Structure 1
Amino acid sequence: MPNEKLRAAMAAGCWTYASLAEKAEVDPKSVERWVNRGRTPRRATAMRAAEFLGEDVHAIWPSLRQPRPARAVSPELVALYEQRADIPVSAFVDLLSEAREQIDVLVYAAVFLHEAYPRLNDLLQERAAEGCAVRIAIGDPDSENVRLRGEEEKFGHGIESRCRLALMHYRSLIGTQGIEVRTHATTLYNSIYRADDQAMVNAHVWGVNAFAAPVWHLRRSGVGGMFDTYAASFDAVWATATLVGED
């Protein structure tokens, strides 16, 4: 079936098969087939031709509106958990234990780690002694965003109290070479537990406690992927955070 919209657009602009073919970088016979047989060019070619015609590419070739097939799974996704409570604490401990260069923790409190694994501070000190840079960012209990999170999760002052408890847990690490603890007042969209090129990312869902929200385990596979997005997010929060000093 002929493409009458294309024929009309060419006629309005005084385009010939040859002149449009030259701009679109194809053979004139290809343009003739577009018009007379209703053939659809490749997307990049169609967009180039439509640009010279001054027309909407989808108006001329409606079939190009069909979405491209999406990649089903990111190559960086190691595992997806329906909720954090499904993950044994040993998975977090094993992740941190494997770190050789960098450990980053971004949370509001996450006291479940210390409660379930009392040796967490020892582990972080051991990693730091081996040259691993450890950065811990916990929520500022006096910040507005922490207060709001408590309201949203119907947890009241519980989150503020847990932020203070988290600070108590980490306080013995303050002053340890290679370990830095800061408090942040940002909106926490995701909790991040990073160890070198791997990370556990606990998504936050409005009105849902973190333990009931999904977690994805990522492993960095290249520049600019999902892992780097979350790593950059951590760095941005870290830059705004306040250093916790020794008493």
Structure 2
Amino acid sequence: MANDRLRDALDRSRVSPAELALLTECDVKTVSRWLAGRVPHPRTRFMIAKRLKEDEDFLWPGAQRAADDVSSSAGMVQFYPTRGVVPPNLWDRLLDAATADVGILVYVGMFLTEKPDLLDRLHKKAAAGARIRILLGERESIAVKQRSVDEGIGPETISAKIDQANAFFGSLTDVPNIEVRNHSTVLYNSIYRFDNDMIVNPHVYGKTAPMAPAMHLRKTATYGLFNTYSDSFEAVWRSATPKAGAR
């Protein structure tokens, strides 16, 4: 169905299809498709609505609600442009609420070691019956050294940081319900699981983890994003090497 609201808004604002194409960096044929009823991507809708001084919901009724429904059904709670802007209290809140399954998949996870009470909290979680699994990078693996080069910090830097992480989490290796392993996989994402909630930090070539996006996911009744990344965690866990002394 033709989008008469968009066409009328263009006329009122005296914006031609060619001008709209220039604004959105699309071709005129794409604008014609929008006028014919195709819905632009969210970022493009925002740009158009701002230029035409109209509400998105007026120009494309229900489009935002449909997008929200898709995110909800997939298990997306919140998207963060960088891991660095994830609220610090969210990490604490998710860890505090977890009672059954805590899983950490990283190469280093150095920011976690900056929490002075983390080890004590993990000890208490394990004592209460929670399963704690920590996956750190294998310092000599090709994937680790390549990641260090890709980030422009030299081939041995991440390996040295892994040594620090191994030392930090080393006291946990003999604790019942806690296991630490080292993995050699290419780390496409860092994963932090807290029962049915998860923060996933997808990695971006040439960027350090804090500068890459983060997603807060929640397990849904049907197979969704949470399950996708949970399956990935389990695959890495099966391939990883238990640390000496681990139970």
- Say yes or no: TM over 0.5: yes
Secondary structure of 2:123's counterpart equals helix
Query: Does the CA contact (< 8 Å) of 1:183 and 1:244 recur in 2?
Result: yes
Q: Deviations over 1:31-83 (max 9, x none)?
A: xxxxxxxxxxxxxxxxxxxxxxxxxxxxxxxxxxx89x895241111111111
The whole-number CA distance in structure 2 between the counterparts of 1:159 and 1:171 is: 18
* TM-fit CA distance, 1:217: 0.2
Query: Does the CA contact (< 8 Å) of 1:153 and 1:207 recur in 2?
Result: yes
The whole-number CA distance in structure 2 between the counterparts of 1:222 and 1:90 is: 27
Q: Deviations over 1:201-234 (max 9, x none)?
A: 0010011000100000011112311100000000
> What's the Cα RMSD here?
1.9
The whole-number CA distance in structure 2 between the counterparts of 1:90 and 1:152 is: 31
The whole-number CA distance in structure 1 between the counterparts of 2:186 and 2:91 is: 23
Task: Please report the TM-score for the alignment, with normalisation by the length of structure 2.
Answer: 0.70
Cα distance change, pair 118–105 in 1 and its aligned pair in 2 (3 A) = same
Aligned pairs (5 A) from 1:201-212: 201-212=200-211
Secondary structure of 1:72's counterpart equals helix
Aligned pairs (5 A) from 1:74-223: 74-75=71-72, 76-115=75-114, 117-156=115-154, 157-223=156-222
Amino acid in structure 2 at the alignment position of 1:114: T
* TM-fit CA distance, 1:88: 3.6
* TM-fit CA distance, 1:159: 1.1
The whole-number CA distance in structure 1 between the counterparts of 2:125 and 2:192 is: 15
* Structure 2 unmatched ranges of 5 or more: 1-37, 40-62
Query: Does the CA contact (< 8 Å) of 1:99 and 1:195 recur in 2?
Result: yes
Amino acid in structure 1 at the alignment position of 2:172: L
Task: Please report the TM-score for the alignment, with normalisation by the length of structure 1.
Answer: 0.70
The whole-number CA distance in structure 1 between the counterparts of 2:148 and 2:171 is: 26
Query: Does the CA contact (< 8 Å) of 1:89 and 1:113 recur in 2?
Result: no
* TM-fit CA distance, 1:246: 3.1
User: Which one has a bigger Cα radius of gyration?
Assistant: 1
Identity of aligned pairs, percent? 39
Amino acid in structure 1 at the alignment position of 2:117: R
Aligned pairs (5 A) from 1:221-240: 221-240=220-239
Aligned pairs (5 A) from 1:27-106: 72-73=67-68, 74-75=71-72, 76-106=75-105
